[in-house]
Amino acid sequence: MLHVGELMTRKPVTITEGSTLAEARGAMERLRIRHLPVLDQDGKFAGLVTHRDILAFTISRLADIDTATQDEIDQGIQAGEVMRRGVKTAQPAMTVREAAQIMLDNKYGCLPVLEDGAVVGILTEADFIKLTIGLIDELARVRRE
């Protein structure tokens, strides 16, 4: 049985509740990621900021707002105001099947992975795509033999 700890991305990029929306947006753009676990003042998991959350707080380009103005607005909004709370999480020992079911049932793009409240990883749709590609490659190899 495959476990979350074997598939997850370890040591994901995180932000704090006091981080600004500008910092979150910058990290997502720079690192090409769509999910940022948010930590409280004790370094424990508090919530999640997603690319979709940031888009919801972005003023439409149709409003004729320039980038500098949007950046200024983003500097005044903290992650704690935007983040999703009550997000379901996984543990490294959880089966990948269980985690996949949680993601499917809740329409999540990721699951933060916690141990004792601390973020130790993140399981994303991309991790499942990598797993699927590996399984397809293995199936093709077996069929050739």
> pTM for the whole thing?
0.86
Mean pLDDT lowest among 26-35, 63-72, 108-117: 63-72
Check residue 63 and give its pLDDT. 59
Please determine, looking at this structure, whether the domain spanning 4-144 carries the CATH number 3.40.50.720: no
Q: What are phi and psi of 107, to 5 degrees?
A: 55, 45
Q: What is the 3-state secondary structure (H, E, C) of 75-137?
A: HCCEHHHHCECCCCCECCCCEHHHHHHHHHHHCCCEEEEEECCEEEEEEEHHHHHHHHHHHHH
Handedness of CA 85, 49, 109, 71 (dihedral sign): positive
For 59, other C-beta atoms within 10 Å of its C-beta total 12
Every domain of the chain and the residues it spans: 4-144
32-88 confidence digits (pLDDT tens): 999 999 999 999 999 999 999 888 877 655 556 667 776 777 778 899 999 999 999
Among 114, 65, 76, residue whose Cα is nearest residue 94: 114
